[in-house]
Amino acid sequence: MQSRALSSKRIREIKENIDKLPLKDKLDILRQLEEELFALRFKGLLDEIRASARKYPLTLEEITKEVELVREQRYESGN
């Protein structure tokens, strides 16, 4: 899809036209936008996770301790 800037007036017109559509057509547009934006949203999520990991780094020892705790809890619960 070609990307170009739209004026705020044109965007407002598009929104007004969408408001006039039946629900089925609105849902079709929503699905299309979700598909087109998935990669961008996923990259944003990864960036947030990476930033958090840099801000609060975990050591291998901390990770191992947490894994062992979860394994113990699962073993005790029978899962």
Q: Which 3-state string (H, E, C) describes 15-61?
A: HHHHHHCCHHHHHHHHHHHHHHHHHHHHHHHHHHHHHHHHHCCCCHH
29-65: per-residue pLDDT in tens? 999 999 999 999 999 999 999 999 999 999 999 999 9
Confidence band of 4 (pLDDT split at 50, 70, 90): confident
User: How large is the greatest C-alpha to C-alpha distance in the chain, in angstroms?
Assistant: 62
Tell me how far apart the alpha carbons of residues 63 and 75 are, in angstroms, rounded to a whole number. 18
Residue 73 lies in a domain: yes
Residue 24 included in any domain = yes
In a domain, 2, yes or no: no
Q: In angstroms, rounded to a whole number, what is the distance separating the alpha carbons of residues 43 and 63?
A: 24
* Residue 43: inside a domain: yes
pTM above threshold 0.75:
no
Which structural domain, as residue segments, surrounds residue 24? 8-77
Q: How confident is the model at residue 5 (pLDDT cuts 50, 70, 90)?
A: confident
CA distance 63 to 53: 13
Q: Is residue 21 part of a domain?
A: yes
Number of domains in the chain: 1
